[in-house]
Amino acid sequence: MDGITFNPLRENRAERVEKVGAINQIVSASPAKKPAATNQSAESPQFQGNFQQALENAINRQTPLHFSKHANMRLNDRQITLTGDQMNRLENGLSQANAKGIRDSLVLVDDVALVVNVKSKTVITALERGQNNVFSNIDGAVIV
């Protein structure tokens, strides 16, 4: 674009059209850059099937079960402790709830009732059976 200036206030319409045409020729004459080739094929095994399902599987493998601040306070206040076996059963219950499409579940493990967000694997609150028999904001229950 050496020597081509464009000032629409100083030039008449014919001169502007001529210069715009010259600019367009320069732009269209420049070689188009092709994207770099990748080593992934369209049939890459990591993307076969349903993407949403693959994403959820990856999240489920990487996200450990954790307790919210509120749940930790309730466990401490109510002196509830979970054994290793109970934790394993709780995680198994979460897997069952996830398979059924449950989002927020009541999971009963022995005498402990836990309200859990299944997708994020977060225990929201915990209490012993018999303390409060009304649970809201859940869409399923699992007894393990």
Q: How far is it, in rounded angstroms, from Cα 7 to Cα 122? A: 63
Give the whole-number percent of the chain exceeding pLDDT 90.
49
What tokens appear for 50 in the block? 């349903």
Considering only CA atoms, which of 89, 68, 80, 94 is closest in space to residue 129?
A: 80
pTM more than 0.95 = no
34-89 pLDDT per residue, tens = 555 555 545 545 555 678 777 777 666 666 899 999 999 999 999 999 999 999 99
Q: Which amino acid is at 59?
A: I
pLDDT of residue 64: 85
Kindly report the backbone phi and psi dihedral angles of residue 37, in degrees, each rounded to the nearest multiple of 5, phi listed first: -70, 145
Per the CB < 8 A criterion, the answer to whether 60 and 96 are in contact is no
Q: Which two tokens stand for residue 76?
A: 């401490």
Closest listed residue to residue 118, CA positions, set 95, 89, 144? 95
What is the tens place of the pLDDT at every residue in 107-122? 999 999 999 999 999 9
